Structure 1
């Protein structure tokens, strides 16, 4: 009798919990067109800078990224899936992002090789608020914002700023937008295996900034004091002897252990700044230097948030600076919150 009554009470409790869970409204779905027509890289700059500051203060929960490799077979692939997320203390939402990249068979089907969604979740109830079909657009926005913040703290604001771009795809465009927002007086140089002419023409028209296409990475380095690299990262893209004194390199192409854009001797010679050392040591430029014995983690000068907070100075003279951007869950949480604040009002 007692057992039967206990089971009834437990069953009712489970039913109440189920009803409470099913009472959550369905998350809102924002399609790609809505996302891309309402968000810009300038929306991300302030929030991403604050996220880096909070990250350095230990106020952001950022798990290590998860990577799912899709082996090429007759049934699937090739491709990669990256899952990142984070929560910044005191904010109303947290974000989990699923980014699918390098699905190159899509091209022959007339589809882009990358896609992705952001899931923005209520930090009070844990209920999903929105699924945003961003197909890497929001990822590229927050990456561009990190590039603009890096430029802000590691270049000399009192001097003219020639900025070079090695690799001229979607990420480069957002790096250029963020750079121009931070330094409207910049001039641009572009070099890529393909697409440099189109990139230079589009960015010059959009930003009102002069861009010049150059014939080689060597020529670009000779003309640039800040260099953005955003290539597939399968091989290094410049050499130490190409660089002028006082150059800043902002590298964002390496996001998994098979990639490296910057040679180990360049990294070892630099004031090296990571976005998050526990990531860059595993999937960023730092990984290669550690494996080669060219650096140890003790050689990391600072994380970007420490520079943002003023704990460590950025540029101090003619030193070489490398900023290694692998993309953090803190950035995803920041742009997720901004996107929800903006799109939920539509």
Structure 2
């Protein structure tokens, strides 16, 4: 973690009194954001942020969670607050991601929203308020998935499966296409119609063949790279389903109530994660720790260590699990990318 700055003791009080007004931040609406920012824009920045995180060059506080209980005037819903600063960058970011407001559906609204607040790292002034409604979160999550494919799979692994076929799955598919073009996709979800729609959309957009399958077992038998991005607390596959040399990239767990992968898989794989201190509390590792099947010492590496070359990624036919809970480093990176692009409009 970066050292905290301190006010010089000899600084006269009159120097602290402002003589100029800070300009108001720019506001970018959802339509502007979604039409100008793409997953491919984010991969290199997020990759660099993971590397900086592993070197201790990112200040990332632990995420804050605000639960909105269901009453006559509110909820139910959740708000996740993350942020960070990558040393040397010109901005830092704080993000509010609001999810699980399922009553919105009855009003024709999405089940949540969100904003990024991008700050000037030189003078502390707000530069932008970006209404992204979780779009940038999905983009930076997808970028992390693409980076995982780049470092944790063989270049010849071109069969890719998606368990869960919502917005994050689409972002993962787009990022995979950026680092592994021409892959063959498979999809499985509890809603078969939604899974088929995902395949049709991704096939048209990415130019890759996609097939909807009838079970997680069928998907794992077809794909060497398996993405899981589901919102529930039930595991979505079994260790016995996986082929030798498979890579599982899990991004559904971001709260202590969630779990996508069985403990016996976690305890018998090369386990990589985005941030040990975070996955131990809200990621897949949490369940393995609670069961006594793993300790934090059993974590093979953080993704940034692999990016930096401190630890090798894919070495042979081992099973690799990459646990992505989403870090403030990624938010800082995509915030910088978004500001650089949107501020020029």
TM-score by length of 2: 0.94
The equivalences for 1:121-270 within 5 A come to 121-157=119-155, 159-194=156-191, 195-270=194-269
CA contact 2:64–2:82 (8 Å) conserved in 1: yes
Deviations 1:97-131 (Å, cap 9, x if unpaired)? 00000011111111100210000000010010000
More helix as a share of residues: 1
Deviations 1:196-228 (Å, cap 9, x if unpaired)? 000000000100000011000010011110000
Q: How many residues align?
A: 332
Hey, what's the Cα distance between the residues in 2 that align with 1:322 and 1:61?
Answer: 26
* 1:18, distance to aligned residue in structure 2 (A): 5.8
The 3-state SS of whatever aligns with 2:267 is helix
> Which sections of structure 1, spanning at least 5 residues, go unmatched?
1-12
The 3-state SS of whatever aligns with 1:152 is helix
CA contact 1:204–1:210 (8 Å) conserved in 2: yes
> Which sections of structure 2, spanning at least 5 residues, go unmatched?
1-12
What residue number does 2:9 align with?
none
Hey, what's the Cα distance between the residues in 2 that align with 1:261 and 1:140?
Answer: 18
CA contact 1:106–1:113 (8 Å) conserved in 2: yes
CA contact 2:157–2:225 (8 Å) conserved in 1: no
The equivalences for 1:1-346 within 5 A come to 19-20=18-19, 23-157=21-155, 159-194=156-191, 195-346=194-345
CA contact 1:271–1:301 (8 Å) conserved in 2: yes
Hey, what's the Cα distance between the residues in 1 that align with 2:149 and 2:188?
Answer: 19
TM-score by length of 1: 0.94
Hey, what's the Cα distance between the residues in 1 that align with 2:159 and 2:130?
Answer: 36
Hey, what's the Cα distance between the residues in 2 that align with 1:70 and 1:125?
Answer: 34
CA contact 1:160–1:185 (8 Å) conserved in 2: no
Deviations 1:78-105 (Å, cap 9, x if unpaired)? 1110000000000000000000000111
* 1:75, distance to aligned residue in structure 2 (A): 2.1
* 1:344, distance to aligned residue in structure 2 (A): 0.4
Hey, what's the Cα distance between the residues in 2 that align with 1:35 and 1:151?
Answer: 26
Hey, what's the Cα distance between the residues in 2 that align with 1:185 and 1:106?
Answer: 38
Hey, what's the Cα distance between the residues in 1 that align with 2:184 and 2:53?
Answer: 31
CA contact 2:157–2:224 (8 Å) conserved in 1: no
The 3-state SS of whatever aligns with 2:286 is helix
Q: Which has the larger radius of gyration?
A: 1
Hey, what's the Cα distance between the residues in 1 that align with 2:230 and 2:73?
Answer: 28
CA contact 1:94–1:120 (8 Å) conserved in 2: yes
Hey, what's the Cα distance between the residues in 2 that align with 1:186 and 1:209?
Answer: 6
Deviations 1:178-213 (Å, cap 9, x if unpaired)? 001100131100000121000000000100000011
CA contact 1:44–1:142 (8 Å) conserved in 2: yes
